[in-house]
Amino acid sequence: MEKFDAIIVGAGSGGIAAAIAAGRLGLRVLLVEKQKYIGGNATQSGVSVWEMGVGGTGIPFDIYKKLKEIPQAVGVYSFKKHRKWQLKTGETPLHPGAEIIIDKSAKYIDTLRRHGSETGINNQQFVINNWHGIPFEPNFFQDVVEKMMNETGNVTLIKNTSVCEVICKNGEIQSLKLSNNLIISASYYIDCTDSGYLCQAAGCEVMYGQESKDRFNEPNAPDTKSAKLNGVSLIYRIRQLKNQDKVELSACWWAKEFPPTSVVEYPNGDLNINMLPTMEGIEFSTYSDYSIAYEECKRRVLAHFQHLRYTYPPYKDYQIVSIAPALGVREGKRIVGEYILKEQDIRDGLSKQNQHDIIALADHALDTHGTSTDRSGCAELDEPYGISFRCLIPKGFSNLLIASRAASFSSLAASSCRLSRTMMQLGQAAGTAIYLANKNKISVTRIDYSSLRQLLLEQNVQLEYPISPTLKRYLDNE
């Protein structure tokens, strides 16, 4: 049986950050990924755009700097137009949603804010001035991340391999059996799967769907528990035709009204097209076969593209370059942890939170897509909030952490803190926490919060708002 300091399952946003963080600190790490790629939604679901938001420092910034060394690998965007702005001014043709373009004058530090406009997208000048995100090429992203893991000299990556058996006793994982028949063990484990697979297999308590109002006393929770979920998107990429015949698609309409659409420019000029959403979350949950759900979403993509070209003339000469090979799933099962992040934490913000174990900041809106959710819409925040380290500790476990969207969040809270850079913050915190636990030979529940926060600060992770002058100088040097 091969033994490691830490085993990380799932090489999505949280997993790659956890591996890099732990590897840099000298731990011998094994990262197991069931797919042939790494990066999760960011590389295979077309979510190759980091939205604006507080807290995207540390390892995300390190990745960005590496991508900047590659021509046309990464950029910073600004909002150019939105259909709500056009409705006010009478500008035509009316855009299907939002047009978001590369802005060479914007810098990484400009991408670190969303909060502050209670009217959200309706506040046109605020959005233009403050809402900047980062589109990147997914293939370059994977290459850069793998090189960063290799540079630590401590991370072993295994792809195309899944965990098929978990041996657990008295709240402690003892070993794993992999699909390649290898049996492995570690002092500590981090679950970075979107579904909390490792935690579920170990017997952790699971949450799914919308919790009722009496569960956490959340103001906007439904009166009764339901299986409703945030919407699912199938993102596709288009490019303007150059001296080619226009490709006609067969008519395959599925809706009387198409959903709002985010159109984001890649550094090379291609456009990332994201229907918000392609499929209702509750409809997706009814499919027992993922491939059938994917094919239905693909049918809708073709219909949507035809609608896009016919209703908005600037796109009439575009063609589909690619359709993401995986669906962008925003919500699934979540694990009950030592602390559960709730709507109240998010709305209270840092000024009212009294947790001493905050290891990540965020300020994304309470944001659901589709009509299947009772709290549909996008509620902007007045200030950032913090995520407690205890949200990463599955309740009752001593050598296991979780750092993905399946961490200990209520359904409402998950609608805010689910974004890629936030997941990377959780992963970096988890990898750093495992280092402290291993160093002191203690349970993850006994990690000293002040030591953990100090180590994260030393790794240029933002844990205070406004941003510190020292970190600002570091980020300005991109």
Q: How big is the chain, counted in residues?
A: 478
CA proximity to 266, closest of 144, 106, 137: 137
Sign of dihedral through CA atoms 169, 175, 177, 183? negative
Write phi, then psi, for 96 (nearest 5 degrees).
Answer: -70, -15
Task: Supply the pLDDT for residue 246.
Answer: 57
Homologous superfamily in CATH for domain 2-74+139-162+171-224+331-476: FAD/NAD(P)-binding domain (3.50.50.60)
Residues 458, 464, 468: CA angle, nearest 5 degrees: 70
**How far is C-alpha 176 from the geometric centre of its chain's CA atoms?**
26
Q: Which of 101-105, 306-310, 326-330, 350-354 has the lowest mean pLDDT?
A: 306-310
**How far is C-alpha 109 from the geometric centre of its chain's CA atoms?**
19
Separation CA 286–CA 132 (nearest Å): 36
- pLDDT classification of 310: cutoffs 50, 70, 90: confident
Residue with tokens 């899944």: 162
Residue with tokens 């709240």: 171
- Is residue 336 over pLDDT 90? yes
| Cβ atoms within 10 Å of 144's Cβ, excluding its own | 22
Task: Supply the pLDDT for residue 376.
Answer: 44
DSSP letters for 116-167: S-TTGGG-HHHHHHH---EEB-HHHHHHHHHHHHHHHT-EEEE-S--EEEEE
Tens digit of each residue's pLDDT (9 = 90 or more) over 189-224: 999 999 999 999 999 999 999 999 999 999 999 999
Tens digit of each residue's pLDDT (9 = 90 or more) over 389-438: 999 999 999 999 999 999 999 999 999 999 999 999 999 999 999 999 99
Can you list the alpha helix ranges (DSSP code H) found in 352-460?
Answer: 411-417, 420-440, 449-458
**Token digits for 81?**
């137009």
Tens digit of each residue's pLDDT (9 = 90 or more) over 277-303: 999 999 999 999 999 999 999 999 999
Three-state secondary-structure class, residue 75 = coil
Task: Supply the pLDDT for residue 252.
Answer: 60
DSSP letters for 284-349: HTT-S-HHHHHHHHHHHHHHHHHHHHHH-GGGTTEEEEEE-SS-EE----EE-BSS-B-HHHHHH-
- Mean pLDDT for 114-133 is 96
Q: Where are the domains of the chain?
A: 2-74+139-162+171-224+331-476, 75-135, 232-329
- Is residue 466 over pLDDT 90? yes
Does an H or E element contain 40, and which?
A: none
Q: Which of 91-100, 243-252, 389-398 has the lowest mean pLDDT?
A: 243-252
Residues 382, 387, 425: CA angle, nearest 5 degrees: 105
The alpha carbon torsion through 425, 428, 431, 432 (nearest 10 deg) reads -110
- Is residue 128 over pLDDT 50? yes
Residues 290, 9: contact at Cβ < 8 Å? no
